[in-house]
Amino acid sequence: MGSLVTALASYLDIKQRGGHWLVRIDDIDPPRQDSGATSKILRSLQAHGLQWDQSIIYQSRHADQYKQALTTLKPHLFYCRCTRKSLKEIKLYPGTCREFTTVRSDSATRCRVEDATILFEDEVLGVQKMNLVKAVGDFIVHRRDNLWAYHLATAVDDGQPNITHVLRGQDLLDTTSPQSYLMNLLDLSPPTYAHLPVLCFADGTKLSKQTHAPALEDAQAGQNLSAALHYLGLQPGKHKQWNPAQWIAWGLQHWCLSKVPVKLPIFSAASL
């Protein structure tokens, strides 16, 4: 339900602006991926009337672009062999390996951050500020196990000229500044951001597979959409006979980003 709420909001928002809704699969971490998950997510989106425009984008097919980005970033990179264990008690990376600016084997590639404040205007939260030195530290762009890091892949993909708006959960808010920082270094333009509150249980934990949120039942797509619209601050009323397309059409007529509550109502499985 949490994922549906965010997906629906992004769909309604961009469609109402006359744009295209794109789906990207962030599949750059094979060891952590569940092979059936992608097709299940896509099936679920379609069952809920959320049809994407253009072809699905797979990050796993963008290795060339990420490699190119790493080359452009070279003056800002260094090669770190610190182990996870040695950094365990430390909140921010202390810059231990900053002097290693030529490639060395068995190392993670980090991007040096400057002591400057990153500013951006969020469409939900207003002006956001972050000092990368104080909040993030030199961060990894390419992992020691030869996988691309999330910040690099996301910065390259979200910085493409056809990506104008990114609407996502507030759990990702803190990733925006390091990603915008990379986009600036890569001469890419950051999109407009909107970070929505996330759906939580009564104890404040976010709904996810890890927190044992009930799976979304595609067979009751209409009820799910009705609940999702409610969470987003809209009052569609009760329409037992409506199919997903009708719920979506109603949503498109009434969608308003400023109506989304600052904090979403607490999730309740009983309301479905």
Report in angstroms how near the CB of residue 138 gets to Zn ion at its nearest: 8
> What's the chain's length in residues?
272
Residue with Cβ nearer Zn ion (13 or 138):
138
Residue with Cβ nearer Zn ion (81 or 165):
81
DSSP 200: B
Residue with Cβ nearer Zn ion (83 or 241):
83
For residue 41, is it left (φ>0), alpha (ψ between -120 and 50) or beta? alpha
Residue with Cβ nearer Zn ion (57 or 82):
82
Residue with Cβ nearer Zn ion (139 or 150):
139
Surface-to-core class of residue 50, CB atoms within 10 Å of its CB (0-12 exposed, 13-18 middle, 19+ buried) = buried
How many CB atoms within 10 Å of residue 182?
Answer: 26
Report in angstroms how near the CB of residue 97 gets to Zn ion at its nearest: 3
What is the C-alpha separation between 178 and 175, in angstroms, rounded?
Answer: 6
Residue with Cβ nearer Zn ion (137 or 191):
137
Report in angstroms how near the CB of residue 84 gets to Zn ion at its nearest: 11
What is the C-alpha separation between 183 and 235, in angstroms, rounded?
Answer: 39
Residue with Cβ nearer Zn ion (9 or 108):
108
Contact 158/191 with Cβ under 8 angstroms?
Answer: yes
Q: Are strands 24-25 and 57-58 parallel, antiparallel or unpaired?
A: parallel
- In the chain, the largest separation of any two C-alpha atoms, in whole Å, equals 66
Question: For 176, phi and psi rounded to 5 degrees?
Answer: -65, -45
Report in angstroms how near the CB of residue 96 gets to Zn ion at its nearest: 4
Structure tokens at 132: 């990368």
- Among residues 101, 124, 220, which one has the least CA distance to residue 176? 124
Report in angstroms how near the CB of residue 82 gets to Zn ion at its nearest: 3
First to last CA, the chain: 10
- Among residues 53, 73, 201, 190, which one has the least CA distance to residue 138? 73
Site residues, Zn ion (CB under 5 A): 80, 82, 96-97
Report in angstroms how near the CB of residue 133 gets to Zn ion at its nearest: 16
Give the orientation angle of helix 37-47 with respect to helix 2-16, to 10 degrees: 60
Residue with Cβ nearer Zn ion (33 or 101):
101
